[in-house]
């Protein structure tokens, strides 16, 4: 991708520098409007945007096979994974798994989108697909939070290219 700005580092250097910022790990789910089947993927690009109105964002690669689906869906759910859910994060991050929802507890919410059980999550955000902004090789997805819930479970953290199991919290009991 061409850019009018100059950089003095390699893509590898940039990736390693970004990896020094710890992020949470989330699974974003929606319903495929053509098949009616649930879809989901693992992301680490989640962030809050606004309290009023309640907005959050996540980013999706433009090369994602699910790009059109998430661009065109009216609703999606963002599940912030609990720190014991590395296997679930991996299950939703690989194309090698034919049915990412197999063997897990989930249901459809009022908007008709897949909602994972809270036993996997430290928080869940049920969102309307509010805005989209192309940026580089990603699409920034802004969701209007219609409902949210949280547990006392510690979140799963991604840091320096791997899952990090070291976070502690005064809230975990």
pLDDT digits (tens, 9 = 90+) for 126-171: 999 999 999 999 999 999 999 999 999 999 998 888 887 665 554 4
pLDDT digits (tens, 9 = 90+) for 92-118: 998 888 899 999 999 999 999 999 999
Token pair 């194309």 is found at 95
Whole-model pTM over 0.85: yes
Cα 170 to Cα 167: distance, rounded to the nearest angstrom: 10
Query: Is there a contact between 113 and 31 (Cβ–Cβ < 8 Å)?
Result: yes
For the chain, domains (ranges, CATH) are 23-157 (2.30.110.10)
Using DSSP, state whether 69 is helix, strand or coil. Answer: helix
Cα distances (Å, whole numbers) of residue 25 to 32, 110, 111:
22, 24, 23
């Amino acid at each position: 991708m061409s850019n009018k700005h100059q950089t003095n580092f390699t893509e590898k250097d940039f990736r390693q520098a970004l990896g020094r910022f710890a992020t949470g790990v989330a699974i974003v789910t929606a319903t495929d409007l053509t098949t009616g089947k649930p879809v989901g993927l693992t992301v680490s690009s989640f962030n809050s945007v606004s309290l009023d109105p309640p907005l959050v964002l996540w980013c999706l690669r433009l090369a994602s096979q699910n790009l059109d689906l998430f661009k065109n869906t009216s609703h999606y759910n963002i599940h912030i994974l609990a720190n014991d859910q590395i296997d679930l994060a991996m299950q939703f991050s690989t194309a090698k798994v034919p049915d990412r929802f197999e063997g897990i507890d989930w249901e459809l919410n009022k908007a008709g989108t897949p909602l994972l059980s809270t036993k996997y999550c430290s928080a869940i955000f049920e969102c309307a697909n509010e805005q989209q902004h192309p940026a580089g090789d990603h699409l920034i997805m802004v969701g209007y939070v219609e409902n949210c819930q949280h547990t006392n479970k510690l979140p799963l953290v991604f840091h320096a290219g791997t899952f990090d199991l070291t976070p502690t919290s005064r809230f975990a009991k």
